[in-house]
């Protein structure tokens, strides 16, 4: 409720309910580094995000896949 409809702020850091406010911001940093973008670009491009659907909270992130090379085990 403190964030209203703008759950993107969860990935900016500084949002906490008694912790240190790093949580999802560190996730954004890891995902952004994997895709070679900034954390704000990762959120804007949908690599990670959050939403509330009724009484359910959903958070997601995408991780790049590396297809196996021919002959790899």
pLDDT tens column, 14-43: 766 666 666 788 888 889 999 999 988 998
pLDDT at 66: 72
pLDDT at 9 over 90: no
pLDDT at 2 over 70: no
Q: In whole numbers, what is the pLDDT of the chain averaged over residues? A: 80
Tell which residue, 69, 70, 66, has the closest CA to residue 35: 66
pLDDT at 68: 74
The burial class, CB within 10 Å (0-12 / 13-18 / 19+), for 8 is middle
């Amino acid at each position: 409720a403190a964030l209203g409809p703008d759950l993107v702020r969860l990935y900016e850091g500084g949002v906490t309910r008694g912790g240190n406010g790093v949580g999802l911001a560190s996730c954004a940093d890891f995902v952004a580094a994997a895709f070679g973008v900034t954390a704000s670009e990762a959120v804007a491009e949908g690599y990670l995000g959050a939403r509330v659907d009724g009484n359910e909270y959903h958070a997601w992130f995408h991780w790049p896949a590396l297809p196996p090379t021919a002959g790899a085990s």
